[in-house]
Chain A
Amino acid sequence: MSESLPEAEQIKRESRYLRGSLRESLADEATGALRDEDTHLSKFHGLYQQDDRDLRDERRLQKLEPHFQFMLRLRLPGGVLTPNQWLGLDEVADRFADGSLRLTTRQTFQFHRVFKENLASLIQHLDKLGLDSRGACGDVNRNVVTNVNPHLSASHQTVYNAAVQISERLNWRSAAYEEVWLNQPEKQTEEEEEPFYTHRYLPRKFKVAIALPPHNDCDVLANDIGLIAIEENGEIIGYNIAVGGGMGMTYGDRATYPRLATPVGFVPADQVVDACEAIVAIQRDHGCRTNRAHARFKYTLDDYGLDWFKERFAEVHGWPLEPLRDYTLTDSGDRFGWTEDDEGFHHLTLFTPSGRIRDFEQLKLRTALRSIAKIHSGEFRITCNQNLIISRVNAKERSAIQKLVDHYGLDDGSRSTPLARNAISCVAFPTCGLAMAESERYLPELTDKIHGLMEEAGIGQETIQLRVSGCPNGCARPYLGEIALTGKAPGKYNLYLGADTGGQRLNRLYRENIDEEEILAELKPLLSRFAKERKPGKGFGDFLYQSGVLSANTGPTDFHEPLIARG
């Protein structure tokens, strides 16, 4: 029976709870790569094997193997860390990675260009900082993200705690992590090692997010489970649950599509962790295991229907879902600059382009943040838009931090265009193995050009959400961008248009496989029409629908069938 399962499904089942031959792979000095099977398992440990794609062809001719290296992603529920942890991560970025820290759209850090021989040392250092990478990738629940809500410290604390609890509950448990990375002796594997997931783990990755309305900077509906906190009298009494969100799709495969999570009911605050576990259990037991392109929870729901889901939920959880409570989501961007919260703490949201923390020639960003971490007594928060908040600053510390911000020229939002500071890009070339086109390296140039068109149209100070992904899998949450590009080939992108700004409407494919010149040619007239015809309070995405440029969504084919087939 297992013969018909995809390779990745077989490998995890036969991996002795994610041990595989990782130890042997790490000990092999003749290659910078892991054994093929172990590259699947390493993801569960937070690592992606990659190679420098800029060098791939050159090295092939040189009869050298690809320049293998790893991306290591932290599990960091809620995206919060202490200044001491910041300093620790900063230090290891030089010792074991490429000297940069990458903030991600899932509120965590990625280290890039980590060589195989440095992986264990890096993970051991993380361990000393009280951090880990367990379950940051792989077919398990991924990093749990939340709104950052700097102006609401008490509520943030509640959703942050929920995020941590959900992350802990849904983490994988086998001792493989400690054995492979922390030098613990290998023991006999037993079934009890993985009581919840069992040896099958999940059919695919699984994502949970928590939003605190009206803000939606975590794009809550892009997740398998979206939790929308419901407040009453300043207290979070529970959560609306939305299910079945997910960005990824495969070009040309119409059975795949991005999907927003559907709100299905409400659970009281004290049940939220159990409720999440029940939902993950349903996906564990009913998700598709024979076709990985159909294995996300969104397809399980579309296969079985929401009524079926609600029945299963009541059965597994023990309680049915309560009726949905009212809520409003208005915006998904970050609010830059200083804010003061209800407890008297100050918070500074900084724009960190594409989340890349490095010392650039013009901007010594890493040095600046290191200097801040040395005098900061509060915490750092990463936003789902790849930006950073210097959080819980005492009134007394604020001026010292502001001095450093001024000294290093950090961007509190005032130094960049609205388009640039709201743009998101994934990493893509040269490290990501999935990338079909540039993303992070291309974004600055692209935003400059689109901003130029906006200036021409007289709307340079408008906010338009731009998202660029190197492939269709959705790390930059492209299908929630008012303007979005997904890579098709070097220099070629699909152009998507028309999402709203609150993360509640997907965009649709406008033009397929076009280059920059064509992209700009398409955008120019639309932006100038927007400048003339827009209505107050309505963004570019809304305008495209109201003006009839885009017609109403018709379903999954919206993402495969370009509205305009040829220019």
Chain B
Amino acid sequence: MTASLPPSPLNDAQRQHVDALVRELNEQQLDWVQGYLAGYRAALRPGGEAPSAPQPQGAKLTILFGSQTGNAETLAERLTEQARAKGLEVECLDMNDFPARRLKKEQRLAIISSTHGEGDPPDNALGLHEYLHGRKAPKLPQLQYAVLSLGDSSYEHFCQTGIDFDERLAELGGERLTDRVDCDVDFDEPADQWITALLDKLAAAQPAVGGGASATVSSGPAAGASQPQSQYDRKHPFTAPLLDRVKLTGRGSDKSVHHIELSLEESGLSYSPGDSLGIYAQNDPALVAQLLEHSGLDGEQIVTVKDEPLTLSQALQHHLELTRLTPPTVQQWAKLSDSSSLHSLVDNKRELIQWLHGRDLLDLWQAYPVKGLEAQTLVDHLRRLPPRLYSIASSQAAVDDEVHLTVAAVRYEQRGRAREGVGSTWLADRLTLDDSAPVFIDRNKNFRLPENGDTPIVMIGPGTGIAPFRAFMQEREALEQPGKNWLFFGDRRFRTDFLYQREWLQWRKQGLLSRLDVAFSRDGPEKVYVQHRIREAGAELWRWLEDGAHIYVCGDANAMAPDVHEALIDVVASQGHKSRENAEQYLREMTRDKRYQRDVY
């Protein structure tokens, strides 16, 4: 804690006193002391001491983020910064670090939360979400709040976690400061609008004060002040030259996974193992050509996207989502096409989601023609092409200003047409060695190596889920961290699909990797997956957990992560002689203590 505070004005003796006192206190006592100090400080004010900075006005704003990939956290930081600039007292916390019982005292609360999987809360929001929906949830008549939810509208349960928080806080008596905004993958603009609306509302509730950041407020561990700043970010991506690309899957594999190396030289960008790289990919020109041909529209005519004039071809290739349909797009399309069958499809969300699966804009257009569609109307009705996120597969301690990715090219055939994932095939096929990719760092503070290099770690990363673990190992190797490392890896076939096999075997030979368990599902008569290996290794895994090991899971969110979670429950229950409930509780506590971290997608 101490390390992340701004420079201390206390002398050494004072600091030691404070430290010694604080260490003894439990949460309740800390809360009391906090109130006491606030009151004491307030009481000093009439004594005539001139404040050195603009004073926080009104009740403190507590900002909580629930983030799986780091987007919610980034926005929470943005809100924190802007609120402080307006002279508000702010505390920004990871939901995991927020004691749920404090809710009863909170007066102003902003929640920013993503949703993952089938409408599930991100790992660090699980506890608060559960508490609010449980029997112990308190009445909250004192509370004013606002919720910003992040999601992906191509999923059925779009923004569900944010919706849950928003509705539940209202049920418990809270009052909305501003309406909830549900952001799609292109979240920047609506999020900024929400931030502005919220801050306007708060400012209206109190006398205006001058600008300038408040120096008296601790930002908590989430502020990330230690990261050096770069001029490049999500809104201003850096064009990173492609340095190298290697197909990792061997001959005869039915997968196509690529190792991609990009250069961050002179970008000032830095990243930590566990972070992701955001990439603004381009659509396949062939698909753009097919769309133009089908529509009869002229690709050279000028349209505007976010006030920027572009040719229609450019807009389609660079800026608009063509391969994935979302319910809002289809709803718009229903109005344009005026097709009664599309209208009725749109009215049944479940059916719509099923219909959308594996269909792209061309499918929609072919099934539901629109007469006389103008190019600009088309552009206005499409979702912006969101950046694609890839877990970074390298550590800067080892590769300096390079960044490595592990990308599985998504290709399949449906309804007589070859389909492709935009980002993966752009990186795997269309980007050439002379090209560059617009990138930014997407921080993920919820997927971090233990601070203590002695701590053992268990990495569970089948398929491309192995990427961040290559980064972990590079980091631990470069920093000579002595903690033990154990990898569970799985894929289809041993001889072609063992990603980075040479490196893992080399690390094992060096002794850096203590144990390596693999599962290949298509090699034998029975399908074997990582969860089987986890159960088989239960006794030793339990010893590692009891020795303080951290568990990391990366990869598929739909099948793998829940199966692995079940396997972990089994191991904890059987080896730790616990009931299922207690085993679940054990893992929940591990999550709370950041010893069980997941990066699943």
A63 contacts B494, C-beta separation under 8 Å: no
Other-chain residue from B502, B508, B517 in contact with A64 (beta carbon distance below 8 A)? B502
Bound state CA distance, A115 and B496, in angstroms? 13
Other-chain residue from B248, B505, B517, B523 in contact with A62 (beta carbon distance below 8 A)? B248
Residue among A29, A58, A117 with the most chain B CB within 10 A?
Answer: A29
A64 contacts B501, C-beta separation under 8 Å: yes
Tell me which residues across on chain A come within 8 A of B502, comparing CB atoms: 60, 63-65
Given known A-B contacts A32-B495, A58-B251, A63 and B503 have beta carbons under 8 A apart: yes
Residue among B246, B498, B499, B503 with the most chain A CB within 10 A?
Answer: B498
Bound state CA distance, A55 and B496, in angstroms? 12
B248 contacts A64, C-beta separation under 8 Å: yes
Bound state CA distance, A65 and B494, in angstroms? 11
A-side binding surface: helix, strand, loop or mixed? loop
A59 contacts B246, C-beta separation under 8 Å: no
Bound state CA distance, A32 and B518, in angstroms? 12
Tell me which residues across on chain B come within 8 A of A564, comparing CB atoms: none
Is B56 located at the chain interface by the 8 A CB criterion? no
**CB closest residue in chain A, given B499:** A63
Residue among B251, B500, B503 with the most chain A CB within 10 A?
Answer: B251
B498 contacts A64, C-beta separation under 8 Å: yes
B518 contacts A30, C-beta separation under 8 Å: yes
Is B160 located at the chain interface by the 8 A CB criterion? no
Is B85 located at the chain interface by the 8 A CB criterion? no
**CB closest residue in chain B, given A67:** B495
A31 contacts B251, C-beta separation under 8 Å: no
Tell me which residues across on chain A come within 8 A of B424, comparing CB atoms: none
B246 contacts A30, C-beta separation under 8 Å: no
CB distance from A97 to the nearest CB of B (A): 15
Given known A-B contacts A64-B498, A67-B495, A30 and B251 have beta carbons under 8 A apart: no
Is B504 located at the chain interface by the 8 A CB criterion? yes
Tell me which residues across on chain A come within 8 A of B494, comparing CB atoms: 29, 32
Q: Which of A45-75 contact B (CB under 8 A)?
A: 55, 58-65, 67
Is B425 located at the chain interface by the 8 A CB criterion? no
Tell me which residues across on chain B come within 8 A of A29, comparing CB atoms: 494, 518, 520
B-side binding surface: helix, strand, loop or mixed? mixed
Given known A-B contacts A63-B259, A64-B498, A67-B495, A30 and B504 have beta carbons under 8 A apart: yes
Q: Which of A523-542 contact B (CB under 8 A)?
A: none
Tell me which residues across on chain B come within 8 A of A60, comparing CB atoms: 502
Is B117 located at the chain interface by the 8 A CB criterion? no
Tell me which residues across on chain A come within 8 A of B251, comparing CB atoms: 55, 58
Residue among B249, B259, B495, B505 with the most chain A CB within 10 A?
Answer: B495
CB distance from A481 to the nearest CB of B (A): 36
CB distance from A113 to the nearest CB of B (A): 11
Tell me which residues across on chain B come within 8 A of A59, comparing CB atoms: 250
Tell me which residues across on chain B come within 8 A of A117, comparing CB atoms: 523
CB distance from A51 to the nearest CB of B (A): 11
CB distance from A63 to the nearest CB of B (A): 5
Q: Which of B408-460 contact A (CB under 8 A)?
A: none
How many residues of chain A have a CB within 8 Å of chain B? 16
Given known A-B contacts A29-B494, A30-B508, A65 and B501 have beta carbons under 8 A apart: yes
CB distance from B85 to the nearest CB of A (A): 48
Is B362 located at the chain interface by the 8 A CB criterion? no
Tell me which residues across on chain B come within 8 A of A55, comparing CB atoms: 250-251
Task: Write the A148-169 contact mask toward B (1 if CB under 8 angstroms, else 0).
Answer: 0000000000000000000000
A62 contacts B250, C-beta separation under 8 Å: yes
How many residues of chain B have a CB within 8 Å of chain A? 24
Given known A-B contacts A62-B246, A62-B249, A62-B250, A30 and B500 have beta carbons under 8 A apart: no
CB distance from A384 to the nearest CB of B (A): 35
Residue among A32, A59, A62 with the most chain B CB within 10 A?
Answer: A62
Is B516 located at the chain interface by the 8 A CB criterion? yes
**CB closest residue in chain B, given A115:** B495
Give how many A-B residue pairs fall within 8 Å (CB-CB): 50
Q: Which of A102-130 contact B (CB under 8 A)?
A: 115, 117
Other-chain residue from A31, A32, A63, A65 in contact with B246 (beta carbon distance below 8 A)? A63
Is B343 located at the chain interface by the 8 A CB criterion? no
Tell me which residues across on chain A come within 8 A of B505, comparing CB atoms: 30-31, 65
Tell me which residues across on chain B come within 8 A of A64, comparing CB atoms: 248, 250, 495-496, 498, 501-502
Bound state CA distance, A65 and B523, in angstroms? 17
Q: Which of B295-337 contact A (CB under 8 A)?
A: none
**CB closest residue in chain A, given B251:** A55
Is B532 located at the chain interface by the 8 A CB criterion? no
Q: Which of B66-87 contact A (CB under 8 A)?
A: none
Bound state CA distance, A59 and B498, in angstroms? 11
Bound state CA distance, A403 and B249, in angstroms? 48
Q: Which of B175-218 contact A (CB under 8 A)?
A: none
A63 contacts B500, C-beta separation under 8 Å: yes
Bound state CA distance, A62 and B258, in angstroms? 9
Is B234 located at the chain interface by the 8 A CB criterion? no
Bound state CA distance, A62 and B259, in angstroms? 9
Is B247 located at the chain interface by the 8 A CB criterion? yes
**CB closest residue in chain A, given B520:** A29
CB distance from B540 to the nearest CB of A (A): 15
Bound state CA distance, A55 and B250, in angstroms? 9
Task: Write the A9-33 contact mask toward B (1 if CB under 8 angstroms, else 0).
Answer: 0000000000000000000011110
Tell me which residues across on chain A come within 8 A of B259, comparing CB atoms: 63
Tell me which residues across on chain B come within 8 A of A65, comparing CB atoms: 498, 501-502, 505
Q: Which of A367-408 contact B (CB under 8 A)?
A: none
Bound state CA distance, A117 and B259, in angstroms? 28
Bound state CA distance, A111 and B59, in angstroms? 80
Residue among A31, A61, A64 with the most chain B CB within 10 A?
Answer: A64
Task: Write the B484-504 contact mask toward A (1 if CB under 8 angstroms, else 0).
Answer: 000000000011101111111
CB distance from B493 to the nearest CB of A (A): 11
Task: Write the B119-148 contact mask toward A (1 if CB under 8 angstroms, else 0).
Answer: 000000000000000000000000000000
**CB closest residue in chain A, given B502:** A63
Tell me which residues across on chain B come within 8 A of A31, comparing CB atoms: 501, 505
Bound state CA distance, A63 and B503, in angstroms? 7
Tell me which residues across on chain A come within 8 A of B249, comparing CB atoms: 62
Q: Which of B245-285 contact A (CB under 8 A)?
A: 246-251, 259
Bound state CA distance, A134 and B75, in angstroms? 69
**CB closest residue in chain B, given A116:** B494
Residue among B501, B505, B508 with the most chain A CB within 10 A?
Answer: B501
Bound state CA distance, A494 and B131, in angstroms? 81
**CB closest residue in chain A, given B470:** A63
Bound state CA distance, A59 and B495, in angstroms? 10
Bound state CA distance, A268 and B502, in angstroms? 58
CB distance from A56 to the nearest CB of B (A): 12
Bound state CA distance, A58 and B495, in angstroms? 13
CB distance from A219 to the nearest CB of B (A): 38
Bound state CA distance, A115 and B499, in angstroms? 19
Bound state CA distance, A59 and B247, in angstroms? 10
A62 contacts B247, C-beta separation under 8 Å: yes
Tell me which residues across on chain B come within 8 A of A62, comparing CB atoms: 246-250
**CB closest residue in chain A, given B513:** A30
Other-chain residue from A58, A61, A63, A115 in contact with B501 (beta carbon distance below 8 A)? A63
Bound state CA distance, A544 and B568, in angstroms? 78
**CB closest residue in chain A, given B516:** A30
Bound state CA distance, A67 and B252, in angstroms? 12
A61 contacts B246, C-beta separation under 8 Å: yes
Tell me which residues across on chain B come within 8 A of A63, comparing CB atoms: 246, 248, 259, 499-503
Tell me which residues across on chain A come within 8 A of B246, comparing CB atoms: 61-63
Tell me which residues across on chain B come within 8 A of A32, comparing CB atoms: 494-495
Known contacts A61-B246, A62-B248, then 16 further A-B pairs from the complex at CB < 8 Å, ordered by chain A residue: A29-B518, A30-B498, A30-B501, A30-B508, A31-B501, A55-B250, A55-B251, A62-B246, A62-B247, A63-B499, A63-B501, A64-B250, A64-B498, A64-B501, A65-B502, A115-B495
Q: Which 7 A-B pairs have the closest CB atoms?
A: A30-B516, A63-B502, A63-B500, A64-B501, A30-B518, A65-B501, A64-B250
Q: List 11 A-B contacts (CB under 8 A).
A: A30-B508, A31-B505, A32-B494, A32-B495, A58-B250, A59-B250, A62-B249, A63-B502, A64-B496, A65-B498, A115-B495
